Amino acid sequence: MAEAQILGATKKVKLDETAFAARFNEPLVHQSVRAEQAARRRGTAATKTRGMVSGGGAKPWRQKGTGRARAGSSRSPIWTGGGVTFGPQPRSYTFKVNRKEQRAALRSALSLHAQRASLAVLDASAFTEPKTRQARELLAGWAPAQKGATLIVLDAQERDAALSFRNLAQVAVLTPENVGVADLLRAANLVTSQAALDALTARAVGAQRETDEPAAQAADTEEAS
């Protein structure tokens, strides 16, 4: 049974087996991370071709009789200040990853934290106002298996807790909707509120349960008949 420690308490929270006990699928995780990082690229790099560079309307010198190589324009790519050949142009780097593959990769990343015991749950209601000291002490009292950056996942309504954690070094705060596979793998430790944990679980197992429900309904119909 997958479990997560509750910060500031000796109790543990039971985790959904489907979301937090999945086999690590490296190809899907790699594909999802590439897709997320590609989607974050601006794609605004651009260079001017010879048709975009100003000047160069007149032939630099006559075709024959000068002893120099033939030249038709000073904006030629082989001239200094000329256009660029095959240079980058604005484009989109995004590519599609199927929804089931995205959720499978998310389950792999969540299960990795559960297996490493680098996942903990905090009580966001304990923050009645933003207090960075309280957040620092809460993390200091937890001894995770991994050392490094910590990702805090909080619901959008848990604003006081988010403001308390966001100024800590090596700590990033995100909402469940904005957490990606790359964010989970980049963080050595994962801390979530109960509401955020439920949202992440729903994201991870949604497709799996949608697939299982028709099969279960068909089995019930056969038993009834």
Q: What pLDDT digit, counting tens, does each position of 74-99 carry?
A: 999 999 999 999 999 999 999 999 99
Q: What percent of the chain is predicted at pLDDT more than 70?
A: 91
Burial of 76 (0-12, 13-18, 19+ CB in 10 A): middle
pLDDT confidence tier of residue 212, bands split at 50, 70 and 90: low
Would you say residue 208 has pLDDT above 90?
no
- CA-based Rg of the chain, rounded to a whole angstrom? 28
Q: How far apart are CA 149 and CA 113, in angstroms?
A: 13
Mean pLDDT of the chain: 90
Structure tokens at 208: 């799996």
Q: How far apart are CA 68 and CA 114, in angstroms?
A: 72
35-52 pLDDT, tens digit per residue, is 999 999 999 999 999 999
- Tell me the DSSP string of 4-39: EEETTSS-EEE--HHHHSPPP-HHHHHHHHHHHHHH
Pair 189, 150: CB distance under 8 Å: yes
Instruction: Return the percent helix, strand and coil in the chain, to nearest 5.
Output: 40, 10, 45
The pLDDT value recorded for residue 21 is 93
Q: What percent of the chain is predicted at pLDDT more than 90?
A: 81
Question: pTM of the full predicted structure?
Answer: 0.80
CATH architecture of 3-38+98-224: 3-Layer(aba) Sandwich (3.40)
Tell me which amino acid residue 103 is.
R
